[in-house]
Structure 1
């Protein structure tokens, strides 16, 4: 846990191929100290990587586990700590591996909680001794509220009323986390656990939590893409993309989004942590980003990172050298990628593009390595 006692800065790895040594060396070379590693796009031995089958978990496939260990070894050799971040659990297959639909089964039926606990018990047993591991991020961007009757970005009072009804049901996210942590602690008493807020790790979604989790080795994580109508790929498809800074749709209203509004929004998890007496060094902004080709993206990154630096929070940008989607790969600058990038994806071949520091990457680069 001592690793997290000082601010840690890193990047997200959501690649379709397991990263090679050069990948981890390059991230470390920029000054990063950790990488948040997702494996769900890697080629699985069965239906779902490491799960075998998210419909019915029966144990960790040996071939998948060996692939993960190799990636961890490479990160360790580069001098990076790793936070394992699955995008799927039993009963909650990541939508991009599910032909698109949101998989709500985990939030309807607690038998999948039992399978998820078995999965994390097995993961802890297998990974607890690996020197690269800095935390287990129990599930990326959970959204039990999505089909559960709570509007996204509802106010705190509405969220708390909703949770009063949902508490004890299969949509009780803190209760699921408690069950998963208990399973992990049967095998691993010391590795930190990272938990995302609900509604896709929204920065306002801890507002309904009445208390922190019982375990003392928990990191509380949010993601920052708000206003999503501006930062997301869909904005770039508009004839005239919504600009940043400027007015943008958010929570059913049109609001002015700028550095002040970013700071106000990111203040919500800080306020929750203060109320709950959770130390600030236990908060993580584990993802943030914007479409690199949006003219205001660089200013957005400056505004988000300014808040994170001022409050000495841990962070990891999205994303580093992603080989399946170029939208937030800031080293590529603001130009379109050439056809050979997409051709490599179709062929399952390694990413053919070289990367270098760019103006779009500068807000991140200068804070990864402030010296």
Structure 2
């Protein structure tokens, strides 16, 4: 009788308890980094991040060498199931993170009908946001991936897609006013460009397989902090984290700024949303206040909000001050964050352990030859705003 009662109890209540346990990881502010490397990271890589005090890492696999056209997907033009050899590579990376004591958020850069532009000859792939057939394939992909990963102890969340942009070719300009976004959404609602509806469908597909793992969803227009403005409500799932990225003003933080005859500096006047603005601590605070106000108005606690990426090109003047001001806002709010990026082996621009110097030719030669880059990393001043805040308290 006791065995029967225990079995019944486990059937009824264990899934909910497991879900609560996984969400409990996110109950206090968590600090980490992004891993968007071209080579699958080994245990030493994760241990180096853990040594700084990080508790989690956001891992994307789309730069890894695929068995077929697209890593894990096989072919983003027509999804037919996970590629077993690619999945084994991903699981090995998760094992490496687990051995180092880091939790992982798994995030694809591509889905069926939405191949990441850098794997698509630089072209933005809008098919997912025009044709719901691809969205059904994306739901099947996430069923398959959740089935494969749901029991892995390193996995702390599924980030459904990196930097979605259904608005890009949908007649909504970037950084539009909240009123303009809401008017646009009234027309887009129910179409393939309805991002909250798309997420709802993916979440439902995952919950058919996995009732416990938290789901992370990003705002539109490449994860812009102001782009939750048109979302009328949170998703109908108690285990969801809401994520945005912070690279504004992009004219300052991005690589093209280095190529300007006179680069923009921070603090300073920088173009944003079609006009020249003065960007300083107060302007960053005002900009980042938008997703926080959206969440509070919908009774979403701050421990369910994530700044999933942020950064600036390490060699531009004012990058250190910029990082410090962005993190000051995030930490005052008590939200989670992950800096971009940790020891990236294909793009040095936001690898803050390299300081503000150019990388030597050996870095690029290693990329050409498919080898690990040979550079040593240190806690340089450019990394200091992040380093001193990484340990979770």
Shift of 1:351: 1.3
CA distance in structure 2 between the aligned counterparts of 1:172 and 1:234, rounded to whole angstroms: 32
Please, which runs of 5 or more residues in structure 1 have no aligned partner?
Answer: none
Q: In 2, Cα distance between the equivalents of 1:54 and 1:359?
A: 41
Q: Secondary structure in 1 aligned to 2:388? A: helix
- Partner SS, residue 209 of structure 2: coil
* Distance (whole Å) between structure 2 residues aligned to residue 181 and residue 312 of structure 1: 26
Aligned to 2:72: 50
Q: 1:188 aligns with which of 210, 213, 220?
A: 210
What is the deviation of 1:370? Answer: 7.1
What corresponds to 1:143 in structure 2? 165
Q: Pick from 282, 293, 296 the counterpart of residue 260 of structure 1.
A: 282
2:295 to 273, 297, 322: 273
2:111 maps to what in 1?
A: 89
Matched, 1:240 2:262: yes
Question: Which of these residues, 354, 363, 368, is aligned with residue 385 of structure 2?
Answer: 363
Aligned length: 371
Aligned pairs (5 A) from 1:92-111: 92-111=114-133
Which residue of 234, 237, 249 maps to 1:212?
234
Q: Offset of 1:239 from its aligned partner?
A: 0.9
What is the distance in 2 between the residues matched to 1:39 and 1:241? 33
SS at match of 1:367: coil
Does the alignment pair 1:290 with 2:318?
Answer: no
C-alpha distance after superposition, 1:187-214 (max 9, x if no partner): 0001000000000000000000001100
Q: What is the TM-score with the length of structure 1 in the denominator?
A: 0.99
Q: How far, CA to CA, are the matches of 2:296 and 2:43 in structure 1?
A: 40
Residue of structure 2 equivalent to 1:307: 329
- Does residue 28 of structure 1 match 2:74? no
Partner of 2:367: 345
Match of 1:159 among 181, 192, 195: 181
**CA–CA distance in structure 2, aligned partners of residues 230 and 327 of structure 1:** 13
The unaligned stretches of length 5 or more in structure 2 are: 1-22
Separation in 1, partners of 2:391, 2:141 = 36
8 Å Cα contact 2:30/2:392 also seen in 1: no
Partner-residue secondary structure (3-state), 1:306: helix
Aligned-partner Cα distance in 2 for 1:63–1:330:
33
- State the 1:49 CA deviation: 0.4
Matched residue SS, 2:291: helix
The DSSP-based 3-state class of the residue aligned with 2:210 is: coil
* Corresponding residue SS for 2:174: coil
Instruction: Give me the whole-angstrom Cα distance separating, in 2, the residues matched to 1:38 and 1:64.
Output: 13
CA distance in 2, matches of 1:243, 1:14: 26
Residue pair 2:54, 2:392 contacting (<8 A) in 1 also: no
**RMSD, matched Cα:** 0.7
Spell out, residue by residue over 1:93-117, the C-alpha distance to the aligned partner (whole angstroms, 9 max, x if none): 0000000000000000000000000
Work out the CA distance in 2 between the residues paired with 1:165 and 1:369: 45
Match of 1:175 among 197, 203, 215: 197
Pairwise CA distance, 1:369: 2.6
SS at match of 2:179: helix
Match of 1:112 in 2: 134
Residue aligned with 1:316, SS: strand
1:312-337 deviations in Å (ceiling 9; x for gaps): 11000000000000000000000000
TM-score of the aligned structures, taking structure 2 as reference length: 0.94
**Cα separation, partners in 2 of 1:2 and 1:370, compared to 1, 3 Å:** closer
1:225 to 243, 247, 255: 247
